[in-house]
Amino acid sequence: MVVLPFRPTPFFANKNKAFWNLQLAGWGGAFLLRASAAIANSQPLDLLAVILVTTITGFSITLVLSVIYRQLFGRQPFVTWSMTMLVLVLAVIVHASIDAWVQGIYYAGISETTFAQRFIGLSYIPATLLVGWSALYYAINFFLTVEEQADRLERLEAQATSAQLAMLRYQLNPHFLFNTLNSISTLVLLKQTEPANAMLTRLSAFLRHTLVTEPGSEVTLEQEVETLQLYLGIERMRFEERLRTHFEISDEALQAKLPSMLLQPLVENAIKYAVSPQEEGARISLTAKVSNGRLQIVVEDTGPGIFRTTGSATSQGDLLTYAAAQSSSTGVGLANIRSRLAQAYGDSHRFETRTGQGGGFTVLIEIPYEAEIKEEVDSAPELAAGTASRALRPSDTTPEPGPASKLGTGRAIGSNA
């Protein structure tokens, strides 16, 4: 049995329809209430005609009031409330006058009350109904206005966050190109044309891969690692055996969603401060797992660490200052990641850096775990299988331009230390 999806529509999604529904329901209820009271008190049935006329009168007057109130709503408070009181008093007078006239016709020859007596006696019900209707009208419109402003503010905040994320993401491409083009320039100056050409080829593959994702978008960790391997392929052209990598990622973590290009600045930082300064190079490790509904990512290296680099103990904030002070760096790496995580997750993320007395540097990222929902593609199982088995060999010191091996199942992947 096919069940059609049911999506409830907000009552005030169509304001015009909601107004008429409330108008008919309200005055219909008022008629039924007064009619029930008349029948319960053994009044003649023809009195229902009088009640119907007075109800139609109130219905018609409130239609006029709605047009007037719509013009008054949103003006200066003094103008709105003073004009509302004046219009409301006139409406009550008109409603009570019509009721008194109808009652005079109905009770002609039975009751000898004057028009003024009937007017005063019948003013209570019209005043109660019209005052209540006016208060409800303003209350509903005020509520809708506040809700619209809240929705508008939420949209503006979402747009601001999206723009901020896009701006932070756009910083990464110049930052990466700055360092990569410097390396290519060095190879050209050394007349090493073949490595320079190979690096340009890998650079074009990396940029083609990264430009597919929109700034501020989310990708799976598996896709992020694929992008990272394209970057490592470029860096291995420079460092060869000095750059060693080790990836250990659980199957569950591979499907986790995270901001695109989040890990590349961390690895670039490790290469700059761990691999480059040491003749023997360094090992960069990336581990990822899911624990208690949180994705935990750790990037660490076996470099000299901040203590050995600066000669004194430093705090997490000192690292950012130190990195920004390097003449060959644009200084947007760690600070960029910190800002992107704050924009994307607020207080629900964790970003820590630490270094040991014996060297090495570690970055810990912890964000809420959200897995990608995969759609089944029955018409192209081969394509889906090929995409799932797409792989990268972090262990290779001189990888081919394309991905080559499958990411593992929670075991150590690509260890070439």
Residue 296 has pLDDT above 80, yes or no: yes
Which pLDDT tens digit goes with each residue over 367-391? Answer: 999 987 765 444 444 433 333 333 3
Contact in structure between 138 and 66 (CB atoms under 8 Å): no
Which pLDDT tens digit goes with each residue over 248-268? Answer: 999 999 999 998 878 888 888
Q: Residue 332: pLDDT band by 50, 70, 90 thresholds?
A: low
Residue 351 has pLDDT above 90, yes or no: yes
Angstrom CA distances, 41 to 45, 47, 234, 330, stand at: 11, 12, 94, 88
Which pLDDT tens digit goes with each residue over 166-195? Answer: 555 555 556 567 767 887 888 788 888 887
Sheet holding 359-368, edge to edge: 350-356, 359-368, 294-301, 282-291, 243-249, 412-413
Structural tokens at position 153: 């503010």
Q: How confident is the model at residue 268, as a pLDDT?
A: 83
User: Looking at the whole model, is its pTM more than 0.85?
Assistant: no
Among the listed residues 208, 254, 257, 259, the one whose alpha carbon sits nearest the alpha carbon of residue 230: 208
Phi and psi based region of residue 405 (left: phi greater than 0; alpha: psi -120 to 50; beta: remaining): beta
Q: Residue 165: pLDDT band by 50, 70, 90 thresholds?
A: low
Give the least confident one: 51-65, 290-304, 394-408.
394-408
Residue 355 has pLDDT above 80, yes or no: yes
Q: How confident is the model at residue 371, as a pLDDT?
A: 86
Pairing between β-strand 359-368 and β-strand 218-220 as defined by DSSP bridges: unpaired
Which pLDDT tens digit goes with each residue over 79-136? Answer: 889 999 999 999 999 999 998 898 888 887 676 778 888 888 888 889 999 999 999 9
Question: DSSP assignment of 178-245, as one string?
Answer: HHHHHHHHHHHHTT-HHHHHHHHHHHHHHHHHHHTSPTT-EEEHHHHHHHHHHHHHHHHHHHGGGEEE
Residue 4 has pLDDT above 60, yes or no: no
Phi and psi for 281 in degrees, rounded to 5? Answer: 75, -155
Structural tokens at position 235: 């860096």
Which residues share a beta bridge with 3?
none
Phi and psi for 161 in degrees, rounded to 5? Answer: -65, -45
- Residue pointed to by tokens 């006696």: 121
Angstrom CA distances, 373 to 49, 206, 257, 289, stand at: 63, 26, 10, 18
Q: Residue 200: pLDDT band by 50, 70, 90 thresholds?
A: confident
Sign of CA dihedral 405, 407, 409, 413: positive
Question: DSSP assignment of 298-365, as one string?
Answer: EEEE-S-HHHHHHSS---HHHHHHHHHH-TT--S-HHHHHHHHHHHHHGGG-EEEEEEETTEEEEEEE
Q: How confident is the model at residue 286, as a pLDDT?
A: 95
- Report the pLDDT averaged over residues 400-416: 40
With the CA atoms of 148, 152, 153 and 159 taken in that order, what torsion angle do they form, in degrees rounded to the nearest 10?
Answer: 160
Residue 59 has pLDDT above 90, yes or no: yes
- Report the pLDDT averaged over residues 71-81: 88
Q: How far apart are CA 274 and CA 377, in angstroms?
A: 44
Which residues share a beta bridge with 290?
295
Bigger pLDDT: 73 vs 414 = 73
